[in-house]
Amino acid sequence: MTTLLQKSPIDRTVLSNGIVVLVTENPAADIIAARIFVRAGSCCETREQAGLAHLLSAVMTKGCDGLSSLEIAEKVESVGASLSADTSTDYFLLSLKTVTSDFPEILALAGQIVRSPTFPETQVELERRLALQDIRSQKEQPFTIAFDQLRQVMYQDHPYAMSVLGDETTMSRLTRADLVNYHQTYFRPDNIVISVAGRITSAGALKLVTDIFGDWQATTTAPPIQNFPDIKSKPQHQIKPLQTQQSIVMLGYLAPSVSSPDYAALKLLSTYLGNGLSSRLFVELREKQGLAYEVSAFYPTRLFPASFVVYMGTAPENTSIALQGLRTEVELLSHTEVSTDAFQAAKNKILGQYALGKQTNGQIAQVFGWYETLGLGIEFDQKFPEMIADVQVQDTIAAAHQYLQAPYLSLVGPEAAINSAIA
């Protein structure tokens, strides 16, 4: 049954096999973009198989039933289309974009890839070697080292503790059989969201998706239920001595998922603190005090408990004062009202960036498919700006008081500098 939501340009249909189809008609340009989401990302891996979803995304487009990697590439490139696969903590994603006339052919190809990948052994081995190179190169990047050790100490046994790439040990032992098993377990129609945006009618898109995916039937076995361990870690610090030109100082706070009533207030605080050249951290710690090479804050939207992170890259001799500066700025949020002008500026910034993030068909397909996959519903697109607009200063103080009190600390830099900072 198709339901057209009030004030929404999106048609949402659930096929008989469980696939959710979202269609946004946008005839402005002769282009169609689609996103095929699978409700399975790196959070569905065991710790022993960390990196499995990433490896699957890398190999997914390298062969499917009846087509080699080269043949797939030729089909896509011969019409100037794009097709790629990616994975995140909470979902797998196949993205495609074509001119309108080529959309049926490329969507059909995407259907073959999603339903019948072959995972050729030579491609598995190649992509595993490339992933191992990425893992090793990240060991030389101070920010990545700092974030990895922060994530591990915060999340411990929870899947969010691991990098999407896994580590050298887990990536090295992944096999083609592991990819096949993961695909058979999670790639099923009742676990799929297909979001389409562009010059196509809802009826036309629905017919195409039904023709390509409608005969795909799920097994009678229910998809696995994720039972993640509770996060019981206590704030502590992790240090990594490294001979670098700067120290990375990073504070992390366990924060709620996107479904929390405090999500909007924390999103606004993240924007106020560390989003852009006018943000509080940039002005106070870089412009006024000259402490930071780079400084920022982020609070990602997650299906499960997220992390609220502030960080700074600073000269090694400034490590201690930089740490104190970051802590002070976050602590202020719990007992000091943000000025009316700064508060409204943060709201304007986040709402403006949100609107600008939905200009292209690809962005539109991404946003609505993502919301559906996270279980928020496509109406969240309307709710989010309202939630931000409704946040009051006292809401941010209450959220900061609840979540931003006891930080986890991650330091990377010259040994003497980081040891003195925690002395």
Domain ranges of the chain: 2-213, 237-422
402 has a pLDDT exceeding 50: yes
pLDDT-based confidence at residue 403 (cuts at 50, 70, 90): very high
**Which pLDDT value is given to residue 2?**
41
**Is residue 6 very low, low, confident or very high in pLDDT (cuts 50, 70, 90)?**
very low
Contacts of 178 (CB under 8 A, 6+ apart): 49, 52
* Measured distance CA(123)–CA(365) in Å, rounded: 29
The answer to whether the 2-213 and 237-422 domains have the same CATH topology is yes
pLDDT for 1 beyond 50: no
CA angle, corner 130, sides to 302 and 248, nearest 5? Answer: 55
CA distance 225 to 219: 15
Whether the per-residue pLDDT at 243 is higher than 70: the answer is yes
Whether pTM exceeds 0.85: yes
Predicted confidence at residue 161, as pLDDT, reads: 92
**381 has pLDDT over 70:** yes
**pLDDT over 80 at 174, yes or no:** yes
Query: What pLDDT is attached to residue 7?
Result: 44
3-state class (DSSP) for residue 408 = strand
Tokens standing for residue 129: 């070697």
What's domain 2-213's superfamily in CATH? Metalloenzyme, LuxS/M16 peptidase-like (3.30.830.10)
User: What is the Cα–Cα distance from 224 to 231, expressed in whole angstroms?
Assistant: 21
Q: Domain spanning 237-422 has what CATH number?
A: 3.30.830.10
Cα-atom radius of gyration of the chain, to the nearest Å? 23
The torsion region of residue 339 among left (phi > 0), alpha (psi -120 to 50) and beta comes to beta
Contact of 118 with 389, CB cutoff 8 Å: no
Region 112-141 average pLDDT: 96
